Amino acid sequence: MTAQDREVDGVEDVLALFARQPDAGPGDEPAPDPDHHRTPPKPTAGTSRHRATPWAEARAIAARSARSASTAQATSTPAPTRRVPLEQALGHVLAEPLAALTDLPSFDTSAMDGWAVSGPGPWSVRPVRPTPNTPNTPNTPNTPDTASKASAPGILAGHAATTPLPDGAAVRIATGARIPPDTTAVIRSEHARTDTTGHLHAEREVVQGQDIRPRGQECRSGDQLLPAGAVVTPAVLGLAAAAGYDELLTARRPTVDVLVLGDELLVRGLPHDGLIRDALGPMIAPWLRALGAEVADTRRVADDAHALFRAITESEADLVLTTGGTAAGPVDHVHPVLARAGAELLVDGVAVRPGHPMLLARLASGRHLVGLPGNPLAAVSGLLTLAEPLLRALGGRAVRPAYHAPVRDEVHGHPYDTRLVPFAHRADRLVPLRYNGPAMLRGIAVADGLAVVPPGGARPGDELEVLDLPWAAWADATTSTDDGCFT
């Protein structure tokens, strides 16, 4: 977190970044931004900030570089995959289409608790003592002398197939139970009554096939349920289990080494004597895992060029991610170390606030390095600007389609850079949150995402691009099922 990463540069930046808002009460309270809409001035030639990569272009470069690396690897070796048990597959990416291993449902089942009937009514109620399918459950004999029509449980889920249902007969049946052969329909319990003679009467019209889930209604064996590249969500785990899977073939998750830079950082206790708590170390690794990465290591690195050089060049991770040290202060060593290591700078500064001094480099090994600013919210900006598209491409995840939503309040903008502002969804509007300075996390901690504010700001009702937080968008790539079979 050295040198504060040069977030403010000159009078214009002070005006652009100064949040003239009253302090809020609870951290999740949205607040309007009273600042006036600004017209961006013309760029000043020769200033370093105008050589920064535009925000959208920086994201495209990160994705493109990762795809190039993945293509180069694929031409030399097969794409690495592994089979993962269902209970360990959450958050992974499918390396092959998910095809049904059985019909769903695999037999005709009852959709409701009620009565299975055959032919027209009224129906004679038959007692049934079902035979369980499970070998560890003792069979219950079907003996008329010990089971009355009232006490017989009927056909239950998980029990063996029954004999065909005679014409004019009815039998109790539970939701999910196997339908007897020759059944006409299932009548819901609340839509039927029995009389004193042991006959069942329907209180509504009975339509053939009603409340019966026929075999293969959801899909047939061999149908493609999800494409390769879909993210495994909790719902996907359930679908895979229903379709007969015990494990899934998944793509290898990209690995990341996190290097937290700064001699001023404490890992526990209260700040004191010029030392501050490390907010990024506890935050970055879980955030990267939510983006689909495996964090191999998170470690502190002193403000020492030699130590940083060793940590970067000795890493075997697909991505090295550093925090702090990306500006030009006396102990900001990232740029000199990358030059010494023969790295190629792909992005050196992004026209975005917060997070302007972020960078992306391709190391001599072909792997990547993302340098995040040391200020916490600026680091979040770098994660979503550079690390997210890079990791998505490295991990084989589908590109998340951009979407826009109207902003409720006027939002102050930077004169010439994109601005990322934490927001909350309120009644189909984006509501900017307080505490959105580069060093603040209070706003993003209760945010639904970041709104992309163009240079000059936005007026109420303007449509802004939305960056969802990863835990708010797990299912983003799981619904592309043109060939799937769904009801």
Q: Output the DSSP codes for 38-70.
A: -PPPPPPTT-GGGGSEEHHHHHHHHHHHHHHHH
- Is residue 159 a contact partner of residue 132, using CB atoms and an 8 Å limit? yes
- Three-state secondary-structure class, residue 249: strand
Residue 240 contacts residue 86 (beta carbons within 8 Å)? yes
Longest C-alpha distance within the chain, in Å?
100
- Give the model's pLDDT for residue 325: 79
Beta-ladder partners of 417:
none
Report the alpha-carbon distance of residue 487 to residue 485 in Å, rounded: 7
Q: What angle do CA 176, 180, 184 make, to 5 degrees?
A: 100
Residue 445 DSSP code: G
Please identify every stretch of the chain with a pLDDT value under 50, giving residue numbers as ranges. 1-50, 75-76, 135-151, 473-487
User: Are the C-beta atoms of residues 370 and 291 closer than 8 Å to each other?
Assistant: no
Predicted pLDDT at 25: 38
Q: What percent of the chain has pLDDT above 90?
A: 52
Dihedral sign, CA of 40, 45, 47, 48?
positive
Look at residue 5 in the predicted model and tell me its pLDDT. Answer: 41
* pLDDT tens figures, 143-175: 443 334 444 578 888 876 678 999 999 999 999
Q: CA-CA distance, 308 to 320, in Å (whole number)?
A: 11
Residue 226's nearest CA partner among 250, 246, 202 is: 250
Q: Which of 472, 469, 284 is CA-nearest to residue 376?
A: 284
* 305-350 confidence digits (pLDDT tens): 899 999 999 999 999 999 887 887 777 789 999 999 999 999 999 9
